Amino acid sequence: AIRMTQSPSSFSASTGDRVTITCRASQGISSYLAWYQQKPGKAPKLLIYAASTLQSGVPSRFSGSGSGTDFTLTISCLQSEDFATYYCQQYYSYPRTFGGGTKVEIK
């Protein structure tokens, strides 16, 4: 199985900050990578697919980049509603695998 490693596992930030989360795959996955946002008690929400394509309805302050093994999720100007846990997932091969998550907390 492809291992997905996210960093950092958690951090604190302030509203208005630019934040970047990294996801690394244990082998190349082309651009078959998705990012999800999860808030407590809720299902994950798809933010980005194909590494950099914004899902319909997702604010443009979210962006994704990367291909192969290294990927990033950037939030250009953190809003209060963005404090959540973020997961990457590869859908290049089976089994599908997720990163361990990055929790973004309020500073």
Question: Closest Cα partner for 91 from 59, 54, 50?
Answer: 50
Question: What secondary structure letter does DSSP report for 55?
Answer: P
Among 1, 8, 12, 106, binds other proteins (CB under 8 A): 1
100 binds other proteins (CB under 8 A): yes
55 binds other proteins (CB under 8 A): yes
Write the DSSP assignment of 76-92 as a string of letters: SS--GGG-SEEEEEE-S
Interface with other proteins (CB under 8 A): 1, 32, 34, 36, 42-46, 49-50, 53, 55, 87, 89, 91-92, 94-101
